[in-house]
């Protein structure tokens, strides 16, 4: 079988770091690429070789296919790992890489194209016997029935989607999705689907080799989302029953085989309150949330991707695979925890939680400048424990230990989710943050925290770090401090 000596990681941030770690463990040299703001990024510092692509704009750096192909040629790489985002699902780039005689560590371009257009993918899934949400062209809205969802055919990441509850609101929603689809994806084609109320977002990880074998690595639940973007993921799902898990896994394998899929991919489903599931889409790449699958199966998915790309068979069958324990991942974003607006600044202090069962995937460090040029995700914090209840408690402790100053982050939102009784109960639908929104404390609340800290003989900073609003004496400090004032 082929063996890679040098691999270009065509990405940045935490995913580039994560991919490089596995490549180094496999004894493979790594080539990093970077834009000007990323010149001293962690992935650049850890690579064997690093090459400047261009200025900050992604179109002039990380999305510049011509420049990337020059790097491939100049550094004599054997393969390209695209990570996720950027060019990871770009069939044109994958084709250009293979045409250059280099292996693309991902699916064939044809499989990408088959799943890229949502309407085409729906038709393919129906033919393969995979259950899909009732839907069709906009003209069939009445047949589909209200409430419904208008979706851009080439959409993704929550863009180009509008809910419609009444027929008179359809035209405006269609026009809005067409505008957003044309702007974000270069296509204004839209379609409609039945809106599944309060669903769970459950996805199945699949691996397929070039010898016709395909397995699934069970499910991840990704229901806690903001603006259709995932925030908290876990494996296994807290509600999936064995028969549903088996049926959903079989459907995911059928979906992958229907498009001739090879390498790692994820088939996403909606699970309604009755336990019925429907195909949503297939992500033809490694997922952000892949660590929870790794933690519960013991597999290194990047290593599996490399083995498959080298032409090796999977070497195991479905019955050889099993889940163990429970894993949870939270995404740390540089964004306001209430408005979700991106934030900028310099990370002044970073303290990462430690201890058994904790994993931290990051592309940042103290002194790192967080700008506006790229996605605001800074890191992923993951935990594993023998049971879900233990995993929740471990994540709560880890989040309380996490300190990042200098940039506003969503840490308080994550703490809110993990401490909510509904999350502990496993009541995690896609409406979670709508039904249980995070409410930031007011200024008077912060003043009260300081007063409470003084009353308990604590420093205000210690209360801030502990997130402490519980267990502090509420008696007035003024009775103890004499003439002193805050």
Q: Which helix (H) or strand (E) holds 434?
A: helix 432-435
Q: Which of 180, 281, 294, 335 is catalytic?
A: 281
404 with 419: CB under 8 angstroms?
Answer: no
Q: Is 281 a catalytic residue?
A: yes
Instruction: Report the distance separating Cα 228 and Cα 213, nearest Å.
Output: 32
Q: Which of 36, 82, 31 is nearest to 371 (CA)?
A: 36
Cα dist from 201 to 196, 280, 402, whole Å: 11, 9, 27
Q: Is the dihedral of CA 29, 35, 39, 43 positive or negative?
A: negative
Which residue has tokens 């699970």?
271
Instruction: Report the distance separating Cα 258 and Cα 249, nearest Å.
Output: 14
Q: Which of 334, 320, 341 is nearest to 369 (CA)?
A: 334
Instruction: Report the distance separating Cα 422 and Cα 427, nearest Å.
Output: 5
Cα dist from 442 to 130, 408, 447, 462, whole Å: 49, 16, 9, 19
Instruction: State how beta strands 103-104 and 79-81 pair.
Output: parallel
Instruction: Report the distance separating Cα 131 and Cα 408, nearest Å.
Output: 42
* Residues annotated as catalytic (active site), given as ranges: 281
């Amino acid at each position: 079988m082929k063996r890679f000596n040098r691999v270009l990681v065509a990405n940045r941030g935490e995913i580039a770091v994560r991919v490089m770690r596995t490549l180094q463990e496999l004894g493979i040299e790594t080539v990093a690429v970077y834009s000007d703001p990323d010149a001293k990024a962690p992935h650049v510092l850890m690579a064997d070789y690093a090459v400047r692509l261009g200025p900050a704009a992604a179109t002039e750096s990380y999305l510049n296919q011509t420049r990337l192909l020059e790097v491939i040629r100049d550094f004599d790489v054997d393969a390209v790992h695209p990570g996720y985002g950027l060019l990871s699902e770009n069939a044109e780039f994958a084709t250009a890489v293979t045409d250059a005689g280099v292996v693309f560590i991902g699916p064939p371009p044809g499989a990408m194209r088959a799943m890229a257009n949502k309407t085409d993918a729906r038709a393919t899934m129906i033919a393969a016997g995979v259950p899909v949400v009732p839907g069709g062209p906009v003209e069939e809205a009445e047949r589909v029935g209200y409430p419904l969802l208008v979706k851009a055919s080439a959409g993704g990441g929550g863009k180009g989607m509008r809910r419609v509850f009444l027929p008179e609101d359809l035209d405006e929603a269609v026009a809005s999705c067409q505008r957003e689809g044309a702007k974000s994806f270069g296509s204004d084609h839209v379609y409609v689907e039945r809106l599944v109320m309060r669903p769970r977002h459950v996805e199945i990880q699949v691996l397929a080799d070039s010898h016709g074998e395909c397995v699934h690595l069970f499910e991840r639940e990704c229901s806690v989302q903001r603006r259709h973007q995932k925030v908290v993921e876990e494996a296994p799902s807290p509600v999936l029953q064995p028969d549903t898990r088996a049926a959903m896994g079989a459907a995911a394998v059928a979906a992958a085989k229907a498009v001739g899929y090879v390498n790692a991919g994820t088939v996403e489903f909606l699970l309604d309150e009755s336990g019925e599931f429907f195909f949503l889409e297939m992500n033809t790449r490694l997922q952000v949330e892949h660590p929870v699958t790794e933690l519960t199966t013991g597999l290194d998915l990047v290593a599996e991707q490399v083995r498959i790309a080298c032409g090796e068979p999977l070497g195991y069958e479905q019955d050889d695979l099993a889940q163990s324990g429970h894993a949870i991942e939270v995404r740390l974003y540089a964004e306001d925890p209430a408005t979700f607006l991106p934030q900028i600044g310099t990370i002044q202090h970073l303290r990462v939680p430690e201890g058994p069962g904790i994993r931290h995937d990051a592309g940042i460090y103290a002194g790192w400048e967080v700008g506006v040029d790229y996605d605001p995700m800074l890191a992923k914090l993951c935990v594993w424990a023998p049971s879900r209840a233990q995993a929740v408690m471990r994540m709560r402790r880890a989040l309380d230990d996490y300190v990042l100053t200098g940039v506003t982050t969503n840490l308080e939102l994550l703490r809110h989710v993990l401490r909510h009784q509904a999350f502990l109960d496993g009541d995690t639908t896609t409406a979670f943050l709508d039904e249980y929104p995070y409410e930031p404390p007011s200024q008077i609340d912060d003043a009260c925290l300081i007063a409470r800290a003084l009353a308990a003989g604590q420093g205000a900073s210690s209360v801030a770090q502990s997130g402490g609003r519980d267990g502090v004496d509420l008696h007035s400090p003024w009775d103890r401090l004499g003439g002193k004032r805050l």
